[in-house]
């Protein structure tokens, strides 16, 4: 099989390419050039491209570089900025997977005659008895990335490979070390590639939108503090709210960007029985009923009843009340065994 392996310059994708070779596939490595601005974090630096190219040389496979900068700006950076303007909290890495890594790259692979696309994600593709595709958690619980690839459907899963998904991360690094790959000891990428560690979100957004100071009010409507930029505040936030010290802990309950107002309350005020969800996607058919819901990349799952309004919208009713999830954040639905992904979406306002 002819496989296009996305190589980010990290150890997982490096070993993924090696495993595909060992399985007898015709492998070509590709690195996507996504972000043209300043970066000192994430997976888009010049050194990452160089690491991927050097590993491809070590493995004796061809290596390509695709420039998807315009797609990245349109599908990831633009929505990230827009979400903050609307008082939401985006997941840019998920949108990168949705619009670039498993959309534009797959389109290019199809056009070039590749049979499948492979990545170094810690997730697994399975099959049911009747031949339907499933998306399962990675074998290493600490490194599972099924949450960030939950948008894959049957058509895409049929042409996607996750070679390291069945392995522990320690095994991956051991293989890389045995091969003397230059990425063997390279740390995992943890941050958003276009947000620098020096400037952070404030500098990035400040160059693109007008930041407005906001009032912080309690649930009675009394002003208790101020924030320098209401667009930078997220539901659940506790610090940076201009509140006097020594009082009870207060958390952001809601962000009203239009009125430049942040509402705060105590921990009990954060608890919710329901969440509205939108932009739903499904691994197979839509699912109603009891599911396990995960609301962050490595967070715990909680039981809920999922009611579908239509294929793209619905409501989560928690079996036990949970803290409110910031609007714009992704929620992913798992089966009763907490292993298979059913689908996912975004929390609505």
Q: Count Cα neighbours of 192 within 13 Å in the Cβ-side half-sphere.
A: 20
Give the per-residue pLDDT at 42: 57
Q: Report the C-alpha gap between 163 and 116 in whole angstroms.
A: 12
Q: Report the C-alpha gap between 75 and 71 in whole angstroms.
A: 6
Candidates 43, 44, 93, 193; catalytic one:
193
At the topology level of CATH, where does 270-347 sit? Elongation Factor Tu (Ef-tu); domain 3 (2.40.30)
Domain boundaries, given as residue ranges, for the chain: 2-178, 211-265, 270-347
Verify whether residue 93 is a known catalytic residue. no
- For the chain, percent of residues with pLDDT exceeding 90: 88
Q: At residue 303, what are phi and psi to the nearest 5 degrees?
A: -70, 140
Q: At residue 178, what are phi and psi to the nearest 5 degrees?
A: -60, -35
Q: Report the C-alpha gap between 124 and 142 in whole angstroms.
A: 15
The answer, yes or no, to whether residue 40 has pLDDT greater than 60, is no
Q: Report the C-alpha gap between 87 and 8 in whole angstroms.
A: 31
- Identify which of 22-31, 180-189, 195-204 has the greatest average pLDDT: 22-31
Residue 168 pLDDT grade (very low, low, confident, very high; cuts 50, 70, 90): very high
The pTM assigned to this predicted structure is 0.94
Candidates 43, 44, 93, 96; catalytic one:
96
Give the per-residue pLDDT at 198: 81
Residue 44 pLDDT grade (very low, low, confident, very high; cuts 50, 70, 90): low
> Do the domains 270-347 and 211-265 match in fold?
no
Kindly report, residue by residue over 149-159, the tens digit of the pLDDT.
999 999 999 99
Average pLDDT over residues 11-16: 98
Task: Give domain 211-265's CATH superfamily.
Answer: Adenine nucleotide alpha hydrolases-like domains (2.30.30.280)
Give the per-residue pLDDT at 38: 59
Verify whether residue 193 is a known catalytic residue. yes
Go through the chain and tell me how many residues it has: 349
At the topology level of CATH, where does 2-178 sit? Rossmann fold (3.40.50)
Average pLDDT over residues 273-298: 97
The answer, yes or no, to whether residue 25 has pLDDT greater than 70, is yes
């Amino acid at each position: 099989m002819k496989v296009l392996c996305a190589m980010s310059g990290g150890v997982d994708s490096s070993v993924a390419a090696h495993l595909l070779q060992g399985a007898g596939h015709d492998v070509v490595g590709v690195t996507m050039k996504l972000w043209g601005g300043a970066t000192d974090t994430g997976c888009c630096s010049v050194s990452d491209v160089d690491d991927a190219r050097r590993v491809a040389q070590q493995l004796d496979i061809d290596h390509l570089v695709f420039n998807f900068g315009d797609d990245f700006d349109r599908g990831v950076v633009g929505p990230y900025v827009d979400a903050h303007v609307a008082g939401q909290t985006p997941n840019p890495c998920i949108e990168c997977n949705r619009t670039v890594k498993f959309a534009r790259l797959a389109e290019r692979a199809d056009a070039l005659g590749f049979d499948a696309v492979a990545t170094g994600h810690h997730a697994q593709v399975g099959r049911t008895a009747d031949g339907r595709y499933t998306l399962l958690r990675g074998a290493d619980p600490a490194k599972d990335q099924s949450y960030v690839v939950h948008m894959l459907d049957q058509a895409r899963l049929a042409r996607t490979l996750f070679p390291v998904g069945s392995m522990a991360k320690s095994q991956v690094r051991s293989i890389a070390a045995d091969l003397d790959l230059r990425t063997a000891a390279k740390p995992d990428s943890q941050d958003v590639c276009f947000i620098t560690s020096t400037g952070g979100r404030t500098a990035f957004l400040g160059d693109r939108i007008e930041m407005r100071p906001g009032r912080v009010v309690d649930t009675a409507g009394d002003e208790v503090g101020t924030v320098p930029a209401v667009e930078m505040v997220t539901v659940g936030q506790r610090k940076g709210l201009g509140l006097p010290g020594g009082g009870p802990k207060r958390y952001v309950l809601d962000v009203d960007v239009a009125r430049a107002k942040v509402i705060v309350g105590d921990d009990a005020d954060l608890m919710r029985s329901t969440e509205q969800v939108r932009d739903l996607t499904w691994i197979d058919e839509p699912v109603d009923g009891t599911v396990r819901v995960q609301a962050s990349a490595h967070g715990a799952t909680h039981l809920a009843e999922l009611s579908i309004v239509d294929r793209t919208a619905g409501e989560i009713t928690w079996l036990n009340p949970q803290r409110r999830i910031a609007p714009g954040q992704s929620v992913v639905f798992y089966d009763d065994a907490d292993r298979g992904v059913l689908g996912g979406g975004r929390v609505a306002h």
